[in-house]
């Protein structure tokens, strides 16, 4: 049988392909894309570790080590691995191992450049029996070092917060002392994590251990836990004469963690710090350091000391930890979506919110499209977990929320239009006058029945006008008032286009067609030379056999020309589902297609998308008109010939 150290060495040699080979090793569960400052949850790797049959339903203990880079975090974790493998083999008194045995496990090395990136966990989950017979699963977690040359403060905060949120014991690895900036960084990191959690009515995190490495003042505070606790009490003491900011840092730390401890660890020796060939052999490590390790590691991992991961007071199993990782990724995406939504809302507020004056609907739609794109860009560039596919759902939800906000802004902006207040009575009064005149004219020519009908309609409109005035004055029967307003609006306004609707644009001498795809955009067939908003250029499409499929704002395509929704063939053909119409249209955007005025023009294009039937009434009407004109000319010619022949015969 292999010794625990040799078993660990064999495992470490296969660490790079731990998941494929089945040998234990460090497995990346959170990837860091440093160029993009983004994070990705490796759900498949995490699932394969935490859902193993023998541990999936056990309560989990997660021990994590975090701190600045190149301060020996992985080095300490490898000694924890030695201890756990020793306990697994039955428990040896000399668990530190053979003095000639290199230190293996989580990858580490000397030097000044960082080694670990993102978050790794050891692929083997250890089963430990606590006093009383309860079995728990122990997971060791290694984290990327903070404050390297490629990571922003927010990157570091994200990694530290994630490891703190998912661990039951967080070891904060520090060098030489607990400086004030160490405490301030801890406050920043934990606050970042606390804000990502749904409920903070109790202390959100469990155990925090300050592990002070290379402690140089044993004559003031002795090595180990006792000296560390005395030193920590002094460092975290809140005094009256302290600045408010310093007091807040200390109060914050106490409010975030259920238990806070400190351990002072001596320097491991010059051979460890300066030799490029150091490989972790115990013979090269200082005796004081090994002595304190024999106290530190069992203190953290002793079965009687192990603390299960808890969320809101409930213990978490390995299966639950997997879901918690996913939920953390979800919270990360939700926060990014909320931030992007704020970008849209704040910009729209500046344009048309509050007491801002009334804005033209066309300008408002243009601003909406601009700020919507700004918000989506903000969401896409924000660091998120879970990858693009995971984030896509949250982007779609963001787009829906922005659409709802836009509708609310439109209503708010419309309420500022002074003339809109008089729209309903103006329509009703105009109708009364027109019907009264029509009644008089029909009565004058003797159509008494029609005149009486017009008089009845005048009476109904007059009643509607008086009712509307009473509702406005009293505030009662608001539903009825809304119905009257809607009727007046229907007379004045064309219906708003819906995704999949056909848009008919009235150009001089012809009609251009497009299909509405939502958010103010249309897809249409345009010649290569077309410029958005330049309607006359569409005439040039008749002179070329090629055209481009474009996606433009309806506002730009229509320009100064009028347009309307015209799904005129719905009674003849069944429209395709809107989602299918939009999908087909979006897939064609940017493509160059064949163009023929008589068989493949813009109207053929949109009808093909909506109904699956290429059809153009313009072409049919022109052909019919030309045919009628031709027949008329032929008839006139025949009549002329006959008249001329008759005249000759008389002569």
Asked whether the beta carbons of 115 and 107 are under 8 A apart, the reply is yes
**Residue 293 — left, alpha, or beta (φ > 0 → left; ψ -120 to 50 → alpha)?**
alpha
Q: Which of 359, 605, 403 is nearest to 520 (CA)?
A: 403
Looking at the predicted structure, is the pLDDT value of residue 179 above 80? yes
Looking at the predicted structure, is the pLDDT value of residue 35 above 90? no
Looking at the predicted structure, is the pLDDT value of residue 208 above 80? yes
- Which of 395-404, 440-449, 508-517, 543-552 is the least confident region? 543-552
Distance CA 232, CA 647 (A): 128
pLDDT tens, position by position, 349-399 = 888 887 778 888 878 888 888 889 998 888 877 755 555 666 777 788 888
Looking at the predicted structure, is the pLDDT value of residue 456 above 80? yes
**pLDDT for res 112:** 42
**pLDDT for res 7:** 44
**pLDDT for res 544:** 57
Q: Give the relative orientation of helices 423-444 and 478-492 as an angle to the nearest 10 degrees.
A: 70
Looking at the predicted structure, is the pLDDT value of residue 524 above 70? yes
Token duo for residue 615: 């059809």
For 73, counting Cβ atoms within 10 Å of its Cβ (0-12 exposed, 13-18 middle, 19+ buried), the class is buried
For 43, 127, 550, the CA distances from 588, given in Å and listed in that order, are 35, 57, 8
Asked whether the beta carbons of 25 and 118 are under 8 A apart, the reply is no
Looking at the predicted structure, is the pLDDT value of residue 315 above 90? no
Number of neighbours of residue 275 by Cβ within 10 angstroms = 12
Q: Which of 285-290's residues contact partners 24+ apart within 8 Å by CB, and which partners?
A: 288/223, 289/265, 290/96
- Which of 232-241, 354-363, 397-406, 572-581 is the least confident region? 354-363
Looking at the predicted structure, is the pLDDT value of residue 262 above 70? yes
| Mean pLDDT over the full length of the chain | 77
- Confidence class of residue 332 from pLDDT cuts 50, 70 and 90? low
Element (H, E) at 392: helix 387-414
Mean pLDDT of 551-576: 83
Distance CA 312, CA 324 (A): 12
Distance CA 480, CA 453 (A): 24
**pLDDT for res 419:** 60
Strand-pairing partners, residue 516, are 522
- Confidence class of residue 230 from pLDDT cuts 50, 70 and 90? very high
Contacts of 268 (CB under 8 A, 6+ apart): 72, 285, 286, 289
Structural domains in the chain, CATH included, are: 4-316 (3.40.50.300), 336-416 (1.20.58.420), 420-492 (no CATH), 501-530+540-611 (3.90.1720.10)
Looking at the predicted structure, is the pLDDT value of residue 90 above 70? yes
For 473, counting Cβ atoms within 10 Å of its Cβ (0-12 exposed, 13-18 middle, 19+ buried), the class is exposed
- Which of 35-39, 161-165, 307-311, 551-555 is the least confident region? 35-39
What proportion of the chain, given as a percentage, has pLDDT over 90?
4
Radius of gyration for the chain, computed over Cα atoms and rounded to the nearest angstrom: 39
Handedness of CA 639, 645, 650, 651 (dihedral sign): positive
Q: Which of 165-169, 392-396, 543-547 has the highest mean pLDDT?
A: 165-169
Looking at the predicted structure, is the pLDDT value of residue 146 above 70? no
**pLDDT for res 507:** 80
Looking at the predicted structure, is the pLDDT value of residue 449 above 70? yes
Distance CA 614, CA 604 (A): 4
Looking at the predicted structure, is the pLDDT value of residue 263 above 90? yes
Q: Which of 148-152, 212-216, 337-341, 542-546 has the highest mean pLDDT?
A: 212-216
For 144, 296, 522, the CA distances from 226, given in Å and listed in that order, are 29, 11, 72
Higher confidence at residue 524 or residue 34? 524
Token duo for residue 55: 């541990």
**pLDDT for res 534:** 42
Asked whether the beta carbons of 539 and 513 are under 8 A apart, the reply is no
pLDDT tens, position by position, 397-436 = 888 888 888 888 888 887 776 666 666 777 778 888 888 8
């Amino acid at each position: 049988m292999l010794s625990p150290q040799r078993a660990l060495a064999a495992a470490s040699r296969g660490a790079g392909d731990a998941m494929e080979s089945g040998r234990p090793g460090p497995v990346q569960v959170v990837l860091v894309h440093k160029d993009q400052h983004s994070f990705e949850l490796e759900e498949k790797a995490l699932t394969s570790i935490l859902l193993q049959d023998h541990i999936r339903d056990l309560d989990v203990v997660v021990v994590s080590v975090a701190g600045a880079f190149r301060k020996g975090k992985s080095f300490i974790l490898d000694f924890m691995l030695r201890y756990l493998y020793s306990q697994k083999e039955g428990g040896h008194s000399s668990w530190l191992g053979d003095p000639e045995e290199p230190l293996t496990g989580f990858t580490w090395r000397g030097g000044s450049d960082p080694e670990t990136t993102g978050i790794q966990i050891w692929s083997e989950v250890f089963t430990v029996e606590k006093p009383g017979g309860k079995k728990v699963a122990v997971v060791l977690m290694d984290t990327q070092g903070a404050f390297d040359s490629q990571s922003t403060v927010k990157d570091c905060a994200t990694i530290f917060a994630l490891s703190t949120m998912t661990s039951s014991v967080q070891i904060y690895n520090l060098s030489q002392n607990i400086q004030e900036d160490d405490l301030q960084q801890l406050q920043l990191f934990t606050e970042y994590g606390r804000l990502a959690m749904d409920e903070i009515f109790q202390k959100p995190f469990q155990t925090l251990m300050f592990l002070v490495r290379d402690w140089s003042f044993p004559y003031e505070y002795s090595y180990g836990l006792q000296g560390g606790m005395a030193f920590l009490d002094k460092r975290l003491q809140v005094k009256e004469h302290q600045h408010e900011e310093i007091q807040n840092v200390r109060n914050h730390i106490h409010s975030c963690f259920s238990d806070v401890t400190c351990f002072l660890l001596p320097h491991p020796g010059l051979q460890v710090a300066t030799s490029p060939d150091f490989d972790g052999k115990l013979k090269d490590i200082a005796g004081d350091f090994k002595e304190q390790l024999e106290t530190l590691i069992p203190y953290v991992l002793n079965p009687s000391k192990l603390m299960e991961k808890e969320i809101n007071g409930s213990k978490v199993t390995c299966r639950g930890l997997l879901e918690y990782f996913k939920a953390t990724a979800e919270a990360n995406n939700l926060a990014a979506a909320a931030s992007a939504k704020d970008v849209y809302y704040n910009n729209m507020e500046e344009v048309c919110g509050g007491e801002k004056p009334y804005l033209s609907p066309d300008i408002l739609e243009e601003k909406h499209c601009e700020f919507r794109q700004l918000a989506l860009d903000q969401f896409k560039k924000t660091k998120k977990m879970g990858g693009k596919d995971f984030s896509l759902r949250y982007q779609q939800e963001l787009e829906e929320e922005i659409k709802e906000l836009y509708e609310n802004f439109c209503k708010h902006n419309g309420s500022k239009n002074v003339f809109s207040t008089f729209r309903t009575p103006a329509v009703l009064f105009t109708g009364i006058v027109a019907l009264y005149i029509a009644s008089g004219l029909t009565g004058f020519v003797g159509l008494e029945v029609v005149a009486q009908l017009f008089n009845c309609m005048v009476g109904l409109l007059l009643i509607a006008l008086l009712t509307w005035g009473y509702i406005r004055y009293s505030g009662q029967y608001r539903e009825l008032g809304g119905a009257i307003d809607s009727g007046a609006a229907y007379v004045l306004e064309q219906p708003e286009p819906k995704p999949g609707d056909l848009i008919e644009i009235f150009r001089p001498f012809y009609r251009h067609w497009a299909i509405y795809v939502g958010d103010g955009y249309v897809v249409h067939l345009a010649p290569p030379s077309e410029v958005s908003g330049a309607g006359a250029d569409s005439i040039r499409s008749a002179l070329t056999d090629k055209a481009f499929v474009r996606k433009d704002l309806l506002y730009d395509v229509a320009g100064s020309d009028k347009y309307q929704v015209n799904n005129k063939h719905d009674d003849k053909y069944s429209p395709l589902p809107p989602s299918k119409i939009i999908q087909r249209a979006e897939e064609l955007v940017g493509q160059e297609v064949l163009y023929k005025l008589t068989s493949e023009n813009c109207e053929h294009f949109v009808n093909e998308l909506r109904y699956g039937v290429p059809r153009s009434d313009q072409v049919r009407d022109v052909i019919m008109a030309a045919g009628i004109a031709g027949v008329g000319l032929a008839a006139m010619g025949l009549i002329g010939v006959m008249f001329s022949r008759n005249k000759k015969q008389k002569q």
